[in-house]
Amino acid sequence: MFKEKVLKELQEAVPAWEARVQNTLTRHPERSPEFTTTSGIAVKRLYTPLDIAGQDYAHDLGFPGEYPYTRGVQPTMYRGRLWTMRQYAGFASAEESNRRYKYLLEQGQTGLSVAFDLPTQLGYDSDHPLAEGEVGKVGVAIDSLADMETLFDGIPLDKVSTSMTINAPAAILLAMYLAVAEKQGIGFDKLDGTIQNDILKEYAARGTYIFPPDPSMRLVTDIFAFCSEHVPRWNTISISGYHMREAGATAVQEVAFTLANGIAYVEAAIKKGLNVDKFASRLSFFFNAHNNLLEEVAKFRAARRLWARIMKERFGAQDPRSWMLRFHTQTAGSTLTAQQPENNIVRTTIQALAAVLGGTQSLHTNSFDEALALPTEKSVRIALRTQQILAYESGVADTVDPLAGSYFIESLTEEIERRAMEYIAKIDAMGGAPRAIEQGYIQREIQESAYRYQMEIERGERIVVGVNKFQIEEEIPQELLKVDPAVRDLQIKKLKEIKAKRDNLAVRQALKELRQAAEGEDNLMPPILKAVKVYATLGEICDVLRGVFGEYRAVESI
């Protein structure tokens, strides 16, 4: 009764307020611009309970830790445990990266996140002709188990949670990680971490694919099956909207395309014979945190609610853990500017705040100099301190879902979910995400959004501080991290040494068994693990799989 009375009074009061607004705008027309979010959602001048009166709060909002998890996947959220502070790092050699990991752990980082160089991501050893000029540049070079042993030297794998951003050769890098754990005397059941293993977004937005979609999906689901039996605490995939957002997707598209890919992975695993409640609780997600603070908060809440409904209603999952969308967030690299790079500290802080207010489980904050080079120790320390200040000084972690009930947040959450569902329905009608990618639909949508966004900047309709407004004369900073080109020579030397001292007969036998498994239907993780343990290289293993599966060639989508 009280709610109806309040809504009735508002319905009577709002027209009078709007009349006062129009009176003001008549006298001051400069105060009447139109505003939209990055997804093109119109932002009203004022939000009231009328904007959310139609929402079913008992179902849509509810309590943290309860279906549909709009307010977070844990009842206590950060009052019980802070998010994992997981700074993405890796460059040059395994030795250099190991030193950076130890430095970050000393500075208070609570989880590791491994960046691999481009040849590793594409399944090439450092001595391959296509690797020239790229070894160690955007991540660490890993050619064999020996490099992985060095990378985690002195870091007990049962004491840290490790995330590895690797996709096409994910099974091989995971096998190397498992082999290192075994050498440390650590059981697979003691390992915590995540392998990205999200190949669909590579075809859609990023490009570090190797094999065609069908065998790639086989590798993904083989990892699901293997880990569900042997590595139960491992997150077997990090379904990534991050890279699609970096390529130009809007917030709505990021939610829609990420969850559409998630649906495809679940369907593939079920088709393989896996029980949904056997693997779904180990699916995780990876989102971008962009500049529009409140839209980003609403995006995270909408994604969580939408996935819970998909898993429960579409796939019939019974275990509440299967309904939970757990996600890692990284601040938006595409928003970092080479102009006035110190401004990036402010941008990253706003983006990190959005992730925390949105209920992320782990977070990477970008360093201010990343538009110019890989981050220095100083810049990565500032990025980590940004998270620590949010956690310990800002107060935003003191209560669960502090923005819940905001008329704007709840209205925006509802609108993002509605628009994302429209996209998912379109993708379903095409036959699912893999077919939509084959037809170029997802790629075109992202490209068109990226073009619109760039045109808004160039026309001055969207202000980027220091780029199209508030410019200054400045020089390129001198304190930038530079990777020594000699790192490739060192990697090639190590490769030759490994091949000279390993049991090459055992390597040939392991690769033969891998080829036979690839030609059949057996799970590929055991033969990959066997090959890794005898120091078969990443390139050798990928070449065997290339020989069976072939290589993917992208189709034009414009």
Q: Is residue 2 one of the residues assigned to a domain?
A: no
Q: Is residue 188 one of the residues assigned to a domain?
A: yes
Give the CATH number, domain containing residue 294: 3.20.20.240
- Between the two ends of the chain, the Cα-to-Cα distance in Å is 56
Contact 508, 541 (CB under 8 A): no
Question: Can you give the pLDDT of all 558 residues of the chain as single tens digits?
Answer: 556 766 677 677 778 877 877 777 777 776 667 789 989 999 988 888 888 876 654 446 789 999 999 999 999 999 999 999 998 888 889 999 999 999 999 999 989 999 999 999 999 999 999 999 999 999 999 999 999 999 999 999 999 999 999 999 999 999 999 999 999 999 999 999 999 999 999 999 999 999 999 999 999 999 999 999 999 999 999 999 999 999 999 999 999 999 999 999 999 999 999 999 999 999 999 999 999 999 999 999 999 999 999 999 999 999 999 999 999 999 999 999 999 999 999 999 999 999 999 999 999 999 999 999 989 999 999 999 999 999 999 999 999 999 999 999 999 999 999 999 999 999 999 999 999 999 999 999 999 999 999 999 999 999 999 999 999 998 877 788 888 888 999 999 999 999 999 999 999 999 999 999 999 999 999 999 999 999 999 999 999 999 999 999 886 655
Q: Is residue 48 one of the residues assigned to a domain?
A: no
Q: Is residue 205 one of the residues assigned to a domain?
A: yes
CA distance 331 to 193: 20
* Nearest by Cα to 256 from 194, 195, 310, 321: 310
Angle, helix 538-549 to helix 213-230, in steps of 10 degrees? 130
The domain total for the chain is: 1
Q: Look up tokens 């060192």; give the residue.
A: 490
* Nearest by Cα to 334 from 441, 238, 433, 206: 206
Q: Is residue 500 one of the residues assigned to a domain?
A: no
Name the residue range of residue 230's domain: 57-84+91-112+157-458
Q: Is residue 80 one of the residues assigned to a domain?
A: yes
Q: Specify the pTM.
A: 0.93
Q: Is residue 174 one of the residues assigned to a domain?
A: yes
* Nearest by Cα to 328 from 69, 86, 142, 55: 86
Q: Look up tokens 């307020």; give the residue.
A: 17
Q: Is residue 62 one of the residues assigned to a domain?
A: yes
Q: Which residues touch 229 (CB under 8 Å, ≥6 apart)?
A: none
Question: Radius of gyration over alpha carbons of the chain, in Å?
Answer: 24
